[in-house]
Amino acid sequence: MSVVINLDGRSLTREQLVAVARGASVELDAQALRAVARAADFLAEQVRREEPIYGVSTGFGSNADKLLGGHPMRDTAVNAAAPGRSLHVELQHNLIVTHAVCVGEPFPAHVVRAMLCIRINTLLRGHSGIRVGTLQALAALLNAGIVPVVPQLGSVGASGDLAPLSHLAIVLIGGGEAFFAGERMPGGLALERAGLHPISLSYKEGLALNNGTAQMLATGVLAVQQLDDLLDTADLAAAMTIDAFAGRLGAFAEAVHELRPHPGQVHVAENLRAMLADSSLADIRYHLVPRFRQWQPNSWSMFSNGVLPGDTLASRQPCFDIGWEWVPLDQRHGRDRFYQRFLPFRGGKKHQPQDSYSLRCVPQVHGAVRDAVEQAKRVLDIELNSVTDNPLVFPDSNAEHVEEQVISAGHFHGMPLALAMSYLKAAIPVLASISERRLNKLLDPATNDGLPPFLIGNEDGTESGYMIVQYTAAAIVNDLASRAMPASVYSIPTSANAEDHVSMGANEARHVLAMADDLGKVLALELYTAAQALDLRSDMITAARELARNCDAMAFAGKVQCGPRTDSPDHGQFLVEVDNLRSELSAAPAFRPGRAVAAAHARIRESIAFLDRDRALDGEVSAAVRMVEDGSILAAARAALQTR
């Protein structure tokens, strides 16, 4: 059964708008239509009484001081083509056909459908003067699947989105272009093929149709809807990276975030705790984590076939070697308490109580971006059911003069949306930047806590691994940062300075929608890289465990550097401590990431195999981006969380 959204001008939600953008139909609330009819009848009566009303019996913008006469002062081509058409009708017709001047690539269909839905909903409030029949024709166009061609460039965000909304309205009167049944065609032909007819505009209808914030609002809502999933994806990518680092969880503790309870920060910390629940990699004891060493032909010579007996690695030969450094007795002075708790071995996990900012400060950074998105939602939710054209008609007012019933105001000005979107434009590069920093940290042997450089064995010196993946992420982050400057701070006056301050909100929201796509690409690259790092970390620790279970202390000592000479008095203690390490590893249960991280990792591995040697990565990168776009990685993690 197809979804139908009831529009009444007062209760449209972001979720409903997204449903219409994706193909749901709309129906018009009967009570709302009665209010629409009252306003239209009121305007018609004022015109009959020859009351001067902006945009009805006067010109627009800088022409507001020109009163319409009773007939044309000269014959025009328009009047010749439509004899008997009043100047009031000509005014509205000309407004639409002259304002449909946007350029650039057309908006996608879902954006245009959202714009149509928003315009219909706001007109249903009954303060715009549009006729019921015109509003029904607009709804019929939307429900028929006609998508007006709306080029993306042309709105300054005051008086609303005049030019793009004119591209919507021009199809309604049989002009412009539209997509219908997958084909681009003249607007009149699209109406004909859908069994619809063009309409003629009446008093103030052109102004009602094109004077509002529907483009910036539609793109803003769709961007925020996309960002909702990307915020959770960013938390998931961070969680997978934290597991790959065998990171520390103390920074995400509930008690910690009660002391600075920004809502987004608290939410992200809770997310991380849930995603990393059941992980035996996070908070693992320092000395259990080995450091990567390059594979050599004799790396696993203690096993006849070179393959460890553990289930995890039985399907492939290890592409790495592992090792630790022993801390000599004379280097432990003043550190006795530490070495009572931890064995004296340096491996892949640094002996420090805190991780770098890109891991430890995920709640603070991701949370601040969440708070920016929540602020945008607050603004968008108000705007969805607001009247944004001009002038505003109050047919039920008991005012004595028409000037008190038809009031010129500034609700078309997009600054509330523009500033909310500028906040998001600043926030998106922040989220992308910290993701790229985590990705880079995984690749750099100076920062990746014992993983191989660029996450590849490279024993022959011929392999680049994931090195260039970081280049792509860096390029995108730079591009996002270069687009982060607020458009709203740079007003360019229009209409001969009648519109002397504009919002540029349409550009802000359009940028945010495009930037959200690019943010998803950066997060996909982190997930792609973190999956490789997680495999390597898990395999290295598992290899250490299986090695410990299948050899004695002397054999295990071969993986430890800096040990004393066999004739040294410290050699006996060295062997005891090596055996303690071997025993602890041998007794350890299987090492695993958090449940949600494991599910996301498994989804990635369904499409992308572990990289044991260099191969073409372009298809894999595209696959990772698609899995973020379609939400399948996030869906796998969410499903795992629901089974807890």
Which residues have a catalytic role annotated?
A: 54
The residue whose two tokens read 């109580």 is: 353
- Interatomic CA distance for residues 448 and 468, integer angstroms: 16
Q: What is the 3-state secondary structure (H, E, C) of 33-60?
A: HHHHHHHHHHHHHHHHCCCCCCCCCECC
Nearest to 173 by CA among 147, 194, 199, 193: 199
Cβ atoms within 10 Å of 496's Cβ, excluding its own: 10
**Cα separation values, 457 from 124, 322, 348, 440, Å:** 65, 11, 16, 17
The residue whose two tokens read 């060493």 is: 293
**Cα separation values, 334 from 254, 331, 339, 349, Å:** 33, 9, 10, 21
Q: Phi and psi of 428, rounded to 5°?
A: -60, -50
The residue whose two tokens read 């055996």 is: 579
Cβ atoms within 10 Å of 237's Cβ, excluding its own: 32
Note whether 581 and 574 are within 8 A (CB). no
Residue 74, Cα to own-chain centre: how many angstroms? 54
Residues composing the chain: 644
Nearest to 130 by CA among 18, 213, 39: 39
- Interatomic CA distance for residues 466 and 382, integer angstroms: 45
Rounded to 10 degrees, the C-alpha dihedral 204/207/213/216 comes to 150
Sequence-separated (6 or more) residues with CB below 8 Å from residue 433: 477, 481
> DSSP string spanning 366-382?
HHHHHHHHHHHHHHHHH
Note whether 406 and 391 are within 8 A (CB). yes
Cβ atoms within 10 Å of 492's Cβ, excluding its own: 10
Tokens at 50, concatenated: 């020859």
- Interatomic CA distance for residues 242 and 196, integer angstroms: 57
Note whether 167 and 149 are within 8 A (CB). yes
What Rg value do the Cα atoms of the chain yield, rounded?
Answer: 33
Tokens at 614, concatenated: 């260099």
- Per-residue burial over 441-477, b if 16 or more Cβ lie within 10 Å, else e, is bbbeeeebbbbbbbbbbbbeeebebbeebbebbbebb
